[in-house]
Amino acid sequence: MQLCTHCNAQQLDGAIFCSECGASLLGSPQRRETTASLNRAAATGDATAFEMSEPLVIDAPPVSAAPTFTLVVINSGRRITLEASDNLLIGRKDNQRGIYPDVDLGLDGGYDAGVSRRHAMISLQNGSYCIEDLASANGTFVNGRRLPPQEPVPIRPGDELKLGTLLLRFEIG
């Protein structure tokens, strides 16, 4: 037997998806960094294409045993897997202003979706994940509810995060 890490249901060995909640039971989720939006941008050569000319750095899988979480960008399917730390900045990279967020949503149409350069912060506090809106112009939403600025709010796996109008899903592992 194995336990589903998402809903704790008992599952038979060999099961690929949990029969209760549908979560993947495979040990390490496959990383899929090539996204539909990137391919489109490359194909049409539109405004985001210049960013494409920069080498795409794919994070090496974490070596340490620190807990990881994943943000799934809904419109592109891109999965961003991160190691939990005190403060992870989500926003848009701006070379001129020297803003280099941990998660750059510029590649996922973040500008059009109204993602601020410094939009929100995800942190691991006392074993639970929190998101804090950094007084962004277009707001941060958790499951459709707008967050008050500068107040960390706990989030759970499966929660839908919206930055401006860009949809993300928060997953653990």
The size of the interface with another protein (CB under 8 A), counted in residues, is 29
Q: Residue 106 has what DSSP assignment?
A: G
| Residue 93 or 155 with smaller CB distance to another protein | 155
Assess 135 for contact with another protein (CB under 8 A). no
* Residue among 1, 43, 58, 65 that touches another protein (CB under 8 A): 1
Nearer to another protein, 104 or 171 (CB): 171
- In the set 5, 24, 68, 138, which binds another protein (CB under 8 A)? 24
22 part of the interface to another protein, by CB under 8 A: yes
**CA 32 – CA 22 distance, rounded (Å):** 19
C-alpha distances in Å from residue 143, one per residue of 42, 59, 102, 155, 163: 32, 28, 23, 10, 11
Binding segment for another protein (CB under 8 A), chosen from 16-24, 106-114, 117-125, 146-154, is 16-24
The 3-state DSSP class for residue 113 equals: coil
Q: CA 49, CA 53: separation in Å to the nearest integer? A: 7
Judged by CB under 8 A, the stretch of 54-62, 104-112, 116-124, 165-173 that binds another protein is 165-173
φ, ψ of residue 50 in degrees (nearest 5): -65, -30
- With CA atoms as reference, report the closest residue to 115 among 126, 130, 99: 99
Residue 43 makes contact with another protein by CB under 8 A: no
Q: Which of 17, 66, 146, 154 binds another protein (CB under 8 A)?
A: 17
Name the nearest CA neighbour of 86 among 122, 139, 41, 35. 122
Token duo for residue 97: 């202003």
Q: Minimum CB separation from another protein for residue 37, in Å?
A: 10
User: Which residues ranging from 140 to 159 are in contact with another protein (CB under 8 A)?
Assistant: 143-144, 158
Question: C-beta of 160: minimal distance to another protein in Å?
Answer: 6
Regarding 118 and contact with another protein (CB under 8 A), the answer is: no
Regarding 108 and contact with another protein (CB under 8 A), the answer is no
Q: How far is CA 22 from CA 5, 28, 38, 111, in A?
A: 11, 16, 28, 33
